[in-house]
Chains A and B, each alone.
Chain A
Amino acid sequence: MDINKDNVLSIKDLVVHYETLEGVVHAVNGIDINLGRKKTLGLVGETGAGKTTTALSILRLVPDPPGVIKNGSIILDGKDILSMSESKMRSIRGREVSMIFQDPMTSLNPVITVGEQIAEVLRLHEGVSNSEAAKRAEEMLEMVGIQGERACEYPHQFSGGMKQRVVIAIALACNPKLLIADEPTTALDVTIQAQVLELMKELKNKFDMSMIMITHDLGIVAETCDEVSVIYAGRIVEHGSIREVFKNTMHPYTEGLFNSLPVINNKQAKLKPIPGLMPDPIELPLGCSFWPRCPYAFERCRQEQPVLRSFDGTHSTACHAYDISDFKLKGRC
């Protein structure tokens, strides 16, 4: 992988373990991410694949103990995150990287007005006066489509979608270079999802931010992202631009994800879920982590861990099957 100076974020060979009493949980097992300026990367995968852990590592907020960043480097805008002092790190959180959490109902403090919560970030990072912070908080609210007068209301007076707008306003208050959105719309209903995604896209362009969109919804990826990395059991199994991954799916797992989606024009068709469950991250299988569930698996998959190899352009995948000439996925049905 080339370390491009223009990259906002480059992660190399990140390994994160949770050392629990039951054993070592291999949450992230060597992930590489390169994210250019103003680009959006989608991280797709099942629950427990290591998406959120990867995101928390960027902020160095992996709960410790039991979480340990075992290996790898994270370079954010030319700065090495993992060797930074804690106080330096605090000045980066919220100012250069912001994170939007999954559930807006619980990520706002219920006893403090929303305006005050936005103002708090401004006071923390920009040291502005109270009145200035309050004024900027109102402007931020207006920008996410909420009237400024509502700044003195409490989170319970807002609906779910409005709360997520407030969360976005807080995250963007200090104009970060990178926004990490951890399933920002999972807790919202579909109409609101569309509004919130539209708003995020619009603000991303307005602020010239890069964004990492963590989701398990391929629709959202198609809608908002430039590139996508598919994660399975803490490893990237396929990476490429949206067009490459969606049109020319290479990894059997990605294919399985697409096949799990209901097809609108054929109501008779049954859903084809991927059989089985994610392997226990405490005891990952030898070889490819996906082989127990893979319809194409052969002997070598049980023995040897496949590495990510690039094919045409930016498209890369980790699968042994491509060593067999003429191998093609059966395709979506």
Chain B
Amino acid sequence: MSERTAVEIGTETVVATRKRVSQFSEAWSRMKRSKSAMVGLIIMIILILIAIFADVLVDYEVDCVTPDLANRLQVPSREHILGTDAFGRDVLARIIYGTRISLVVAFSSVTLSLVIGAMLGSIAGFYGGKIENIIMRITDVFAAIPNLLMAITIATALGQSIFSMIVAIGIAGVPALARIVRATVLTVKDQDFVEAGRALGGNNMQIILFHLLPNCIAPIIVQSTLRVAGAILSTSSLCFLGIGIKPPTPEWGNMLAGGRDFLRTAQHITLYPGLAIVITILAINLMGDGLRDALDPKLRR
């Protein structure tokens, strides 16, 4: 602090060393203080690593998709740590591979809804009037349709593939993000620096990109993190309902659906994929809560 005051008083004062603190390193140091957020973050990093190195960890052809009817419905043992399913495929291997699909679908769909939502929201908030009314009423209509129903419709229309899942879940998430971005833009757009930006010759596009969107980053990050959890759940739900990714591709929802018939005799088939979903969503939510606290300037001490 003392070196800072030194500069503020005199302009000639030379300051030798200074710690540069950006908004994000500040937020990071606040987040580090929250244990639950760090637990969430660490689990997420582990899951991402598993997804990236799924090929190294398991042999897709042998462990995940090829039926081995001699070893069906095995309880967990040394050979199959989490047992085998109704077709004799290794549950652990399938969960590991499922991580990849869940995370890819979740992150891509959230990115998709983020891009579309941020664009629509910032345009609606910035221009106001008729444009805002049209955009927001359309998103209202979309928001009125239950997310899952919406995703089912799109997935049915586009056919069963990872891509159609991404589109389905991504579009279902647009209204929420558009609203949040619009709300933030509304609070920011009347501030002096936007007016100053105009006085310096910026056009509308430049003001939206340079002045408005950077100010929306905190709520956008938080909302997208929380939406990733929702997207994973939606992926699993769609697959469970049989309109997601086609079996035998290992996906957590598919695995749950496949184990449903054996709930009384071989619980491990449904238990472990279910646990994987729970842990992942819990981790993301913990991380999202921590991020929200870290990025909220009102909670700064």
A interface residues, Cβ below 8 angstroms from B: 59, 61, 87, 90-95, 98-99, 101-103, 106-113, 120-121, 124-125, 145-147, 149-150, 152-154, 157-159, 161-162, 167, 170-171, 195
CA distance A150 to B195 in the complex (A): 24
Cβ contacts A to B, 17 pairs, < 8 Å: A59-B199, A87-B203, A90-B202, A93-B198, A94-B199, A109-B210, A109-B214, A109-B215, A110-B215, A111-B214, A112-B210, A145-B12, A150-B7, A152-B20, A153-B20, A167-B196, A170-B196
Q: Please provide the 5 A-B residue pairs with the shortest distance between their CB atoms, ordered closest to farther.
A: A94-B200, A145-B11, A94-B201, A93-B201, A106-B192
- Is the CB–CB distance between B200 and A170 below 8 Å? yes
**Chain A nearest Cβ from B177, distance in angstroms:** 19
- Does B217 interact with chain A (Cβ within 8 Å)? yes
**Chain B nearest Cβ from A304, distance in angstroms:** 38
Complex contacts, B28 vs chain A, CB 8 Å: none
Complex contacts, A112 vs chain B, CB 8 Å: 210-211, 214
- B192-233 near A? 1/0 per residue, CB < 8 Å: 110111111111001000110011010000000000000000
- Does B191 interact with chain A (Cβ within 8 Å)? yes
Partner of B193, one of A93, A106, A113, A145: A106
- Is the CB–CB distance between A154 and B23 below 8 Å? yes
- Does B14 interact with chain A (Cβ within 8 Å)? yes
- A191 to chain B: closest residue by CB: B9
**Chain A nearest Cβ from B211, distance in angstroms:** 5
- Is the CB–CB distance between B22 and A154 below 8 Å? yes
Given A109-B215, A162-B8: A147 and B15 within 8 A (CB)?
Answer: yes
- Is the CB–CB distance between B198 and A61 below 8 Å? yes
- Is the CB–CB distance between A61 and B14 below 8 Å? no
**Chain B nearest Cβ from A116, distance in angstroms:** 9
- Does B21 interact with chain A (Cβ within 8 Å)? yes
Complex contacts, A158 vs chain B, CB 8 Å: 8
Given A111-B23, A112-B210, A154-B22: A90 and B217 within 8 A (CB)?
Answer: no
- A113 to chain B: closest residue by CB: B22
Other than the known A106-B191, A150-B7, what 16 A-B pairs have Cβ atoms closer than 8 Å?
A61-B199, A91-B201, A93-B201, A94-B200, A106-B192, A107-B196, A108-B196, A109-B193, A109-B211, A110-B193, A111-B23, A145-B11, A147-B15, A153-B20, A157-B4, A161-B8
**Chain A nearest Cβ from B261, distance in angstroms:** 54
The count of residues in chain B whose C-beta lies closer than 8 Å to any C-beta of chain A is 30
- B12 to chain A: closest residue by CB: A145
- Is the CB–CB distance between B193 and A107 below 8 Å? yes
Partner of A124, one of B18, B192, B201: B201
**Chain A nearest Cβ from B137, distance in angstroms:** 22
B interface residues, Cβ below 8 angstroms from A: 4, 7-8, 11-12, 14-15, 18, 20-23, 191-193, 195-203, 206, 210-211, 214-215, 217
- Is the CB–CB distance between A111 and B217 below 8 Å? yes
Complex contacts, A90 vs chain B, CB 8 Å: 201-203
**Chain B nearest Cβ from A236, distance in angstroms:** 23
- A180 to chain B: closest residue by CB: B199
CA distance A124 to B197 in the complex (A): 11
Complex contacts, A167 vs chain B, CB 8 Å: 196
**Chain B nearest Cβ from A255, distance in angstroms:** 34
Given A99-B196, A101-B196, A111-B23: A121 and B201 within 8 A (CB)?
Answer: yes
CA distance A159 to B21 in the complex (A): 15
- B200 to chain A: closest residue by CB: A94
- Is the CB–CB distance between B200 and A121 below 8 Å? yes
- A65 to chain B: closest residue by CB: B129
- Is the CB–CB distance between B193 and A124 below 8 Å? no
Complex contacts, B200 vs chain A, CB 8 Å: 93-94, 98, 120-121, 124, 170-171
- A170 to chain B: closest residue by CB: B200
**Chain A nearest Cβ from B19, distance in angstroms:** 10
- Is the CB–CB distance between B201 and A95 below 8 Å? yes
Complex contacts, B215 vs chain A, CB 8 Å: 109-111
CA distance A92 to B200 in the complex (A): 8
Which of B12, B214, B217 has the most C-beta atoms of chain A within 10 angstroms of its own C-beta? B214
Complex contacts, A152 vs chain B, CB 8 Å: 20, 22
- Is the CB–CB distance between B210 and A101 below 8 Å? no
- Is the CB–CB distance between A157 and B21 below 8 Å? yes
CA distance A111 to B197 in the complex (A): 14
Complex contacts, A103 vs chain B, CB 8 Å: 192
CA distance A120 to B20 in the complex (A): 21
- Is the CB–CB distance between A146 and B193 below 8 Å? no
Which of A111, A124, A147 has the most C-beta atoms of chain B within 10 angstroms of its own C-beta? A111
- A97 to chain B: closest residue by CB: B199
